[in-house]
Amino acid sequence: MTASKQPAPGTKRPIDMRYLESTVGYSIRRAQMAVFQHIYESFDDKALTLVQFSVMAVAADNPGVTQSELAQVLAVERPRIVPILNRLEELGFAKRVVSEDDKRNRQIVLTASGAARLRELKRRFAAHERELDELLGKRKTGLLDALHRLSGIGE
């Protein structure tokens, strides 16, 4: 090993990150980045985005859910739902149906093709979650509990 003022190529001098890593805010951001990337690697090519996937998952369990309801429960602004559903309709995975009870509402329903696509993606998502299980072991229950508690801070 040669003494040098310059770090060897490929060698990074260590940066003290202890302060930020002790905070929930920074740690949760880094964890979310890693988890999202892992999900996208588990999805197949040309897969849906996570928001599109989430819309399909909610629509599957709540047939006839409206766009406003989707926006509210997924915590995205109403205008953002529009291009997401446009895309899902283009792909033949979902349909807007004007509600009979209140013609302002568009009820979202999955097509057979959309339900099949969702099943495939849920299968891949489950494989991703099993990998997290290996990493987390028994910590997973506590993690979800803590995350759900954090989600309710402002209420």
Partner DNA sequence: TATTGTTATACTCTATAACTATA
Partner DNA sequence: TATAGTTATAGAGTATAACAATA
Site residues, DNA (CB under 7 A): 9, 49, 51, 66-69, 71, 76-82, 85, 96, 102-106
Our CB check for its own copies shows the closer of 120 and 145 to be 145
Residue 103 in tokens: 């013609």
Q: Taking the complex as a whole, how short is the minimal distance between the CB of residue 138 and DNA, in angstroms? A: 31
Q: Tokens for 90? A: 């283009």
Q: Which does 113 bind (CB under 5 to 8 A by kind): its own copies, DNA, none?
A: none
Closest distance of CB 95 from DNA, Å: 11
Q: Which does 49 bind (CB under 5 to 8 A by kind): DNA, its own copies, none?
A: DNA
- Complex with DNA: residue 80 or 130, whichever CB lies closer: 80
| Contacted by 78, from DNA, its own copies, none: CB < 5 to 8 Å by type | DNA
Residue 152 DSSP symbol: T
Q: How many CB atoms sit inside 10 A of residue 2's CB?
A: 4
Residue 36: CB atoms within 10 Å: 11
Structure tokens at 124: 């891949």
Distance CA 63, CA 60 (A): 6
Pairing of strands 65-66, 94-98: unpaired
What's the rounded Cα separation, in Å, for the pair 19 and 26?
10
> Per rule CB under 8 A, is residue 4 in the interface with its own copies?
no
Q: Smallest gap, in angstroms, from Cβ of residue 2 to its own copies? A: 16
**Measured distance CA(6)–CA(58) in Å, rounded:** 54
Positions touching its own copies (CB under 8 A) are 5-6, 12-13, 15-39, 50, 54, 57-58, 61-62, 65, 69, 72-73, 75, 101-102, 125, 128-129, 131-132, 135-136, 139-140, 142-154
